[in-house]
Amino acid sequence: MTFLALDVGNTRLKWALYDAPCAGARLLAHGAQFLENIEKLAEGDWCDLPAPRWVLGCVVAGDAVKRRVQEQLDLWDVVPQWVVSSSAEAGLVNGYDHPARLGSDRWVAMIGARQRVLAQGPSRPCVVVMVGTAVTVEAIDAEGRFLGGIILPGHGIMLRALESGTAGLHVPTGEVRDFPTNTSDALTSGGTFAIAGAVQRMVENLRQHCGANPVVYMTGGAGWKMAPSMSTQVELVDSLIFDGLLEIADRRLLAV
């Protein structure tokens, strides 16, 4: 039963086709498309793929984008299912005040992270960092409870805010330096250190709360840029949301 996993973010749609809807399934194909080019999927990236039997996804880009994705899925006459955050699923308990209001991408990524923790050995606390248009930093205790998380602007939003709100300040690309000595490097380093500092604070909060060192997973389109600048050890996992979707699909099938 081929399975198509969809991650529809604020900027891009990421997709992955697997040979089965279960954890550990074999990846058959994958890709990404900017949201403005969604209409090219059926006649482009997807036209030669085997038809998926099941489609499961998470979407944060809104209902209009969701409808556009569903129109492309008419290629296979398949109706997608969309994850909505709940009070508990796939071994994770949701500590949000209003569980359904938690972004589905955050929820799915945490489910993938929780299963990764358990697959690597004894259960331990976990911090999940997604670096994209926005940055989210989540805390999960050793019992699989999502304690809470923070949201901050992604690097691009920070730089654009400075450019629009500061007279005469333009934002050329700079480098991350310990001690920046020009404006470009100062801007790039400032955004990078802001994100790194937020992650470090959450790691310290979780360590103090649980009395154990947490593992830190980082994912998202800009994760590879951030990882080298982190002050705490992180494991870069590009597939965290897809891992979560596979785990959810596996659990839901078993429950049928």
- Residues with catalytic annotation? 105
Under a CB-based contact definition with an 8 Å cutoff, are residues 109 and 244 in contact?
yes
Q: What phi and psi, each to the nearest 5 degrees, are found at residue 148? A: 150, 170
Question: Which three-class secondary structure state does DSSP give residue 64?
Answer: helix
Under a CB-based contact definition with an 8 Å cutoff, are residues 192 and 103 in contact?
no
- The string over 176-202, giving b where at least 16 C-beta atoms fall within 10 Å of a residue's C-beta and e elsewhere, is beeebeeeebebbbbbbbebbebbbeb
Task: Calculate ∠ Cα 176-182-188, nearest 5°.
Answer: 30
Sheet of 81-82: strands edge to edge? 27-34, 12-18, 3-8, 54-59, 81-82
Q: Which amino acid is at 144?
A: G
Distance, CA of 216 to CA of 235 (rounded, Å): 6
Neighbour tally for 63: CB within 10 Å: 8
Distance, CA of 13 to CA of 34 (rounded, Å): 6
Neighbour tally for 232: CB within 10 Å: 15
